[in-house]
Amino acid sequence: MIKHTFLFFLVLEVLILSLSACASKTEYLSYEDKKQKGPKVFNVDVEFCKRYAQDNEKQIEGSKGAGERFQYKNSIFLLCMKNKDWILRQ
């Protein structure tokens, strides 16, 4: 019983941490606004980069595993944001 409870909480903690890490990559405060563009431009750029990453993910759908596709999609999104002068804070 104790082993199952520990395992449940471990899985729950990993899930919560992974979801919180994903959410922060689309918030204005998570990025440095070096060009002083503001939150409205940020939201437009985020939507563009999400669509761009999703379109490019479809091209590799059959050739990689689910984890690799997710990492690839994330890297495309972050590169797109960097190209639009949004740098993710550490």
Phi, psi of 7 (to 5 degrees): -65, -40
- pLDDT of residue 53 exceeding 90, the answer is no
Q: What is the average pLDDT across 35-45?
A: 95
| pLDDT tens per residue across span 57-84 | 765 555 556 567 667 778 889 999 999 9
Q: Give DSSP secondary structure letters for 6-68.
A: HHHHHHHHHHHHHHHHHHGGGSGGGEE-TT---HHHHHHHHHHHHHHHHHHHHTTTTTS-HHH
How many Cβ atoms are within 10 Å of 82's Cβ, its own excluded?
A: 13
Which of 16-20, 24-28, 29-33, 42-46 has the lowest average pLDDT?
A: 16-20
pLDDT at 21 over 90: no
Domain ranges of the chain: 2-88
Length of the chain: 90
